Structure 1
Amino acid sequence: MTDRPRNVLFLCTGNSARSVIAEGLLRRLGGDRFRAFSAGSFPTGRVNPGAYPVLRSLGLDPAEFRSKSWDEFAAPGAAPIDFIFTVCDNAAGEVCPIWPGRPVTAHWGVEDPAAVTGSEAEVAAAFAAAERRLRRRIEHFLALPPEVLDGPDVRARLEAIGKDTAP
């Protein structure tokens, strides 16, 4: 068991919506037990404006977030990552860098709200749906006791959360 906050990285291809929302949720809900980060394999370079209302609803300033490459977290001197969650199917299938810290990985696929077209209300509803699904999964993750997070079956437990089959 570690006495430092555990580092959690949320990955998505563009790092503009889902992974940023997940980072914000864990920042807000994780207390001092976790440090949240997000990145993308092919970052768009900007956070999708549709994520702003979600971040604001969490009491977070959207200006604190940026779209960045996952290379930042694989570089020499990067903080060791304890857990990595891919939140889009594309990122889950990509060849990832070698991560410092030998993190536990799991896939938590969520529909891309940034891909939704339609009225402002329809787009906002898609972002809200992504936030609800990510919140539920993060709350299940946070409810796991430290001995489970350090246990041999942690990956299976985290994968179950991503399939919405967690108890």
Structure 2
Amino acid sequence: MFIIEVLPPGITGIIIAGLFAAAMSTLAGSMSSLSSSTMIDIYTPLCGKNISEEKKLKISRLLTVLWAALLIISAMIFRKSSLAVVEIALSIASFTYGGLLGTFLLGLLFKRVKQNAVLAGFASGILFMILVISLKIVGWTWYTLIGVIVTIAVGSAITFAKKSRE
């Protein structure tokens, strides 16, 4: 409200335009990243690598539109929520961040960890987070830490169990 009520109209317009520009560039970068990842990681391996550049560009643009639609639908779902947008976004993100960070730390801390142990740890972390969230045991700020602990515990337990059998 300070910007609208106290600052002169010209400065207010520049600040609001800057805010819109920042939001639009962030959203454009996100949609471009999602489209690129989908194209490179999913479409190209499934549909072959002998696709012309022109067709890749058309498909990439279509994927951008599809991701934009998905983001709009997601925003519409949460528009009547009483929570702040940042809180909603962080609670959704922290659902998987624990498993991802735990996976990274497993590879960093345990040199002999194998892929199946890491995947089991990650899956366990996600499944445990589903349980924690559905039972509303703790607040969303703890999700990442809990996911990390479960992922590392399961992954390292599998690694040590296999190591002791050898």
The alignment's TM-score, normalised by the length of structure 1, stands at 0.33
- Based on CA coordinates, which of the two structures has the bigger radius of gyration? 2
Between Structure 1 and Structure 2, the one with more strand by share is: 1
The alignment's TM-score, normalised by the length of structure 2, stands at 0.33
Bigger relative contact order (CA 8 A; separation at least 6)? 1
Between Structure 1 and Structure 2, the one with more helix by share is: 2
